[in-house]
Amino acid sequence: MTLIMGVLNLTPDSFSDGGSYVDTAAAVARAREMVAAGAEIIDVGGESTRPGSVRVDPDTEWERIADVVKTLVSLGITVSVDTVHAATAQRAIAAGVQYINDVSGGLHDPKILRVVADSAAHYIAGHWRGFPSATEYRDQYRDVVTDVIADLADRVADAITAGIAPERIVLDPGLGFDKNTEQCWEILSRLQEFKVLNVPLLIGASRKRMLADLLHGAPPDARDVATAAVSMHCAAAGVWGVRVHNVKASSDTVKVAQKLHTVKAGLPADIPASVAQHKAPVADRITLTGLEVFAHHGVFDFEREKGQKFLIDATVTLEKLAGDAADSLQNTVHYGDLAEALHKTAATAPVDLIETLADRLVHVALQFTGVAAAEITVHKPEAPIRKNFTDVSITISREKMGEQCDR
């Protein structure tokens, strides 16, 4: 089920609730109210990132949020701290917070990645082109979705290189951060494409200008119904979490989306949401294992010159149920043809990385009629590693976008 992250800004200048919760008691009361309304995480912020906001140093930021963070942790509330500063993140983690929400994705203060890596905290990396400016516009993209996905892939790579385990990473496409209104709607309309990153997604559309533009300039607190509608859309798309100001409204619409999902999937209405979310639809699969290819892929010159053995495992998920009474090839995929196509692609056009090779092979498999999804594993058992090892491999999974599966 999509998680609800409640926004708690302890700032004097945030665009929606700036100055409302600078008192510790009021802030803690607001957090408890949001938890009672359905928030699983409270995101505490001490520095506004709205266009034209004033930058603050980490000491000032921590002074604003320290008492509230420590109190919420002591109450057993799951806390996220919204910061771009490594020093603030380190203090927050020491206080027991479980999430660091960095809208810069490590680009503002790269040391924040190491701080999170040395902890058990989760890291939320946002898409970033700098602090939003009231006068400077950086919303030029070739294609906003593909460009943002590419940038977020870099953020993931940097986080993993720093030592953050992949399962502790969440991504945020940064609605409103150097993106105009139409670009924000474009991202929301194409959420399925972000699955290529294979990382949970957080969406923060709450009360933002994209909603004001849609609602003819409605003030922030009059955008909550529209925000809830976006939350329902995100839940239907399988988004990990939504970051919102009005928790009750979004919590209710997420429950509606989850109910519709369970009914559509034919699941019992009373099963746990976590089970309903992860139960896969029935589908037939074909698996091809150990396809051997001699090719010249590799980073080193001698790999390109001499070549080596690669092994390919492929699993394709079918759009139709193949094992039925029709006994027809039209309902399945000719695995001999699949093997030939994969072998031909793997044996030609050398690349540096087996990751690139696996991605190519996935796209080959998805071109077959009747294939809804594909998973490719490329093994490199003769990789130039100076230690004893059995195998090194990469697995990539992709779904065919924009088509319905008859299952």
In this prediction, residues 157-173 reach a mean pLDDT of 94
What number of other Cβ atoms are within 10 A of residue 325's Cβ? 5
- pLDDT in the model for residue 377: 96
Element (H, E) at 377: strand 371-379
Of residues 32 and 277, which shows the higher confidence score?
A: 32
Q: How many CA atoms lie within 13 A of 310 on its CB side?
A: 30
Task: Report the catalytic residues.
Answer: 208, 243
Would you call 114 exposed, middle or buried from its count of C-beta atoms within 10 A (0-12, 13-18, 19+)?
Answer: middle
pLDDT tens track for 82-120: 999 999 999 999 999 999 999 999 999 999 999 999 999
Provide, rounded to the nearest whole percent, the portion of the chain with pLDDT above 70.
86
- Residue 163, pLDDT > 90, answer yes
- Least-confidence region, from 111-120, 168-177, 229-238, 347-356: 347-356
Confidence at residue 333, expressed as pLDDT on a 0 to 100 scale: 86
pLDDT of residue 406: 31
**Percentage with pLDDT > 90 across the chain:** 66
Beta pairing class for 41-45 and 3-9: parallel
Given a contact cutoff of 8 angstroms between Cβ atoms, the answer to whether 35 and 77 are in contact is yes
Q: Which of 162, 21, 26 is nearest to 100 (CA)?
A: 162
Task: Identify the band that residue 44 occupies on the pLDDT scale cut at 50, 70 and 90.
Answer: very high
Sheet-wide strand order for 285-295? 285-295, 308-318, 371-379, 393-399
**Annotated domain spans of the chain:** 3-278, 285-399
CATH number of the domain at 3-278, out of 3.50.30.50, 3.20.20.20, 3.20.20.480, 2.40.30.10?
3.20.20.20
Cβ(286)–Cβ(335) below 8 Å: yes
Instruction: Please state the φ and ψ torsions of residue 286, each to the nearest 5 degrees.
Output: -115, 130
Query: What whole-number distance in Å separates Cα of residue 103 and Cα of residue 123?
Result: 10
Over residues 147-172, mean pLDDT: 94
Note the pLDDT of residue 32. Answer: 95
> Which of these, 174, 89, 182, 93, lies nearest to 143 by C-alpha position?
182
Non-local CB neighbours of 11 within 8 Å, separated by 6+ positions = 18, 19, 22, 45, 46, 47, 48, 64
> Among 123-132, 165-174, 225-234, 324-333, which stretch is predicted with the lowest mean pLDDT?
324-333
Query: Whole-number mean pLDDT of the chain?
Result: 87
Where is mean pLDDT largest: 15-24, 50-59, 192-201?
192-201
Q: How confident is the model at residue 314 (pLDDT cuts 50, 70, 90)?
A: very high
Question: What does R_g of the chain's alpha carbons equal in angstroms?
Answer: 24
Cα–Cα distance measured from residue 58 to residue 20, given in angstroms and rounded to the nearest whole number? 21
Q: Is 25 exposed, middle or buried (0-12, 13-18, 19+ CB in 10 A)?
A: exposed
Residue 268: the pLDDT is 58
Residue 402, pLDDT score:
41
Which CATH number among 3.30.1130.10, 3.10.110.10, 3.40.47.10, 3.30.565.10 corresponds to the domain 285-399? 3.30.1130.10
